[in-house]
Chain A
Amino acid sequence: MAPVFDYAPAPESRSVVDIAPSYGLFIDGEFAEAADGKVFKTVSPSTEEVLSEVAEAGEADVDRAVGAARKAFEKWSALPGSERAKYLFRIARIIQERSRELAVLETLDNGKPIRETRDADLPLVAAHFFYYAGWADKLDHAGYGANPRPLGVAGQVIPWNFPLLMLAWKIAPALATGNTVVLKPAETTPLSALFFADICRQAGLPKGVVNILTGDGRAGAALIAHPDVNKVAFTGSTAVGKEIARTVAGTRKKLTLELGGKGANIVFDDAPIDQAVEGIVNGIFFNQGQVCCAGSRLLVQESVHDEVLDSLKRRLTTLRLGDPLDKNTDIGAINSAEQLARITALAEQGEAEGAERWSPACELPETGYWFAPTLFTGVTQAHTVARDEIFGPVLSVLTFRTPDEAVAKANNTPYGLSAGIWTEKGSRILAVANKLRAGVVWSNTFNKFDPTSPFGGYKESGFGREGGRHGLEAYLDV
């Protein structure tokens, strides 16, 4: 039976974005083919349609890009901070102007809903450049001593979950502090970084200050290992993060890592329940749960377990899964077949280990990579779904009886990126937040981001902070 109030399709127009059939690497201000001529295809995860063919960087290209960045470093780092600032302000403004185009592009290449790229990703991208632009001529006052120096060439490798936002988190502070950049976007989401290259061109950014190398993990590894790179910044999996830490061991390269998580979202019995339910949904289903700081473990006090679960399940039935370009879509596609397979396997393991699986009635499109919002109840600390980062729309529900137990369970993970606390009792928020070993604690909210707010993990979630004054340190020789 069709619902009474059936929202008609409301697709955002694709015509706002013009994707070329092929793209080269962006080195020294020019697009160029890979030295060995290799290319790979990038597809739309929601339809499996090939969007474009992009160059696949090899070691020779990495070497050329690092060389270009090195050459550009001398002049760029010598520019007065106020001049660097103006380039970044220009970039911020052009991103604002082209934000609809970029939102549609990001949705096409990543599979996330246009609602998110339009209302979250793009505004944050512009804000991040705007924020760090303002720092460029104020570094003397940032608390790192007088005249803090840049490091040199930054090699940056970013993931596919927030392609343009992660680019902004990396490039904005690097340029503001006077470094030059070689950035490798994720293999499955190369397009927005290539469009960003065009924005650099429009902004008149000097050649070689930003270089974009598309490619797979091998290009990333070559970039990180390159002897003329002074700074390595990586966002991605903990396993790769460890490999990178080994690679840079014994060098002078400064390293920051923003890795995985298994965030606990703790709901106490005196929580604002309706807002907590929204926070739980936002915590694990935002971006299909493909978020390092996702609230993937719900820790709910036993005295409100049934009430919260009933509300949560009812709420999940209203989630709208489908065409990411439809303005009413809440849940888009999983980014890749590979990621879908991983989520599927972990969910199957959850069932095999005896956790109870539930999803709302939900029709999945026939083409593309899709996974229905999923809850596991009856989960204990020993279940794989409570320990491994799934990086998908899968929530594990655990219970606790006392604040002590909640904190102990929340901290019982090698990760330490994010956590949530829901209670109307102020002193409990402060006490619990104090005990949580996590870099970001959202109380009575979740998944909020801001360029002024430092972000990063404890323990195996990595080290270093991105955002805010703290984010400057990663790119300064201090």
Chain B
Amino acid sequence: MPTTAPHALSDVTASDGTLRRFLHGLPGVDGVGLEARAASLGTRSIKTTAKAYAIDLAISMVDLTTLEGADTPGKVRALGAKAVHPDPTDRTTPATAAVCVYPDMVAAAKEAVAGSSVKVASVATAFPAGRAPIAVKLADVREAVSAGADEIDMVIDRGAFLTGNYMKVYDEITAVKEACGTSARLKVIFETGELSTYDNIRRASWLGMLAGADFIKTSTGKVAVNATPANTLLMLEAVRDFRAQTGVQIGVKPAGGIRTSKDAVKFLVLVNETAGEDWLDNHWFRFGASSLLNDLLMQRQKLATGRYSGPDYVTVD
């Protein structure tokens, strides 16, 4: 079995016991302090040139997402077209980072974004619940990869995590990583709303990074609480610390619940002042979102023209 754990911490995953001791030995998180810090950064006032920069950066970081039972190739083609040219009236608008779809839509998505910089990401591993046998999950991943997915967004087994079976979670991630091969980057979704505590989110972050995640991602967007400034701040601290210890840089993707430009800019401030500017690039930070893009586009139009835009001046997804 390939080990993706970096050298500095490779001993950590030697056994169930060492992994548990390591994760439980991470510094605790004081939730009130964490939320206060996130709220404080949320008061940064990002105006004029800084705002223009932040909006374009945010657009370039969007994983434009459709994850519905009613998804069709037609819907996915429309989404792909929008990802490539988010604002048909202004070709200076950056493309989004990716479109994010279910595995059976990967081929359609691939076709829709062909020739552009836009990647195709696919949720897999029996998204969103992840309650399927490992063989099914791996088959899910392999299908998506073979259909051309550039990125795989997997969910961890929250049940295993919450029963303290960290090695099971670790082994699944490494197996999925292997199934991704060399072509697809792996995003590991924790479903932070189900892990519930900040201590758990910190442990999950390290577990995911040790197991070879290229990105750690908050949530599926399918539960009550998804990305928040606080849980994203916590994960940004984790990738910052992981790089400091191992030299390996990991990306972060908050997903679900980020709907306005104002929110997106706050998240970029979190990135800037926590992980640092090395992460201010869509290779290292993404927004899992759908309606966010139109708000970013309207704000972009406002900055360009000085007038407030309206929903009729951006495209419906």
Interface residues in B18-64 (C-beta closer than 8 Å to A): 27-30, 32-34, 36-37, 43-51, 53-54, 57
Q: Can you list, as one digit per residue, whether each of A301-335 has a CB less than 8 Å from chain B (1) or not (0)?
A: 00000000010000000100000000110000000
- Complex Cα–Cα for A275 and B28 (A): 9
Q: How far is the CB of B279 from chain A (nearest CB, A)?
A: 10
Are A3 and B277 in contact, with the CB atoms below 8 A?
A: yes
The 5 closest A-B pairs by CB, nearest first: A275-B33, A10-B45, A327-B45, A424-B28, A275-B30
Report the count of interface residues on A (CB-CB < 8 A).
25
Cβ of B16 under 8 Å from chain A: no
Are A444 and B51 in contact, with the CB atoms below 8 A?
A: no
Are A328 and B45 in contact, with the CB atoms below 8 A?
A: yes
Q: Total contacts A to B, CB within 8 angstroms?
A: 74
Interface residues in A1-46 (C-beta closer than 8 Å to B): 3-10
- Complex Cα–Cα for A273 and B241 (A): 12
Cβ of B273 under 8 Å from chain A: yes
Instruction: Given the known inter-chain contacts A270-B28, A271-B27, A424-B28, please indicate yes or no for A444 contacting B33, CB distance below 8 A.
Output: yes
B interface residues (Cβ-Cβ under 8 A, vs A): 27-30, 32-34, 36-37, 43-51, 53-54, 57, 237, 244, 268-269, 272-273, 277, 280
Name the contact of B43 in the complex, choosing from A7, A115, A424 (C-beta under 8 A): A115
Instruction: Given the known inter-chain contacts A274-B27, A328-B44, A424-B28, please indicate yes or no for A8 contacting B34, CB distance below 8 A.
Output: no
Chain A residues with Cβ below 8 Å from B27 are 270-274, 424
Closest chain B residue, CB of each to CB of A318: B273
- Complex Cα–Cα for A318 and B280 (A): 15
Name the contact of A5 in the complex, choosing from B28, B30, B32, B268 (C-beta under 8 A): B268
Chain A residues with Cβ below 8 Å from B28 are 270-272, 424
Q: How far is the CB of A10 from chain B (nearest CB, A)?
A: 4
Are B37 and A275 in contact, with the CB atoms below 8 A?
A: yes
- Complex Cα–Cα for A119 and B46 (A): 17
- Complex Cα–Cα for A327 and B47 (A): 11
Chain B residues with Cβ below 8 Å from A271 are 27-28
Name the contact of B50 in the complex, choosing from A5, A115, A310 (C-beta under 8 A): A5
Are B277 and A8 in contact, with the CB atoms below 8 A?
A: no
Cβ of A393 under 8 Å from chain B: no
Cβ of A279 under 8 Å from chain B: yes
Q: How far is the CB of B128 from chain A (nearest CB, A)?
A: 29
Cβ of A216 under 8 Å from chain B: no
Are B29 and A119 in contact, with the CB atoms below 8 A?
A: no
- Complex Cα–Cα for A219 and B244 (A): 56
Name the contact of A272 in the complex, choosing from B30, B54, B57 (C-beta under 8 A): B30
Are B277 and A4 in contact, with the CB atoms below 8 A?
A: yes
Are B33 and A5 in contact, with the CB atoms below 8 A?
A: no
Q: How far is the CB of B68 from chain A (nearest CB, A)?
A: 34
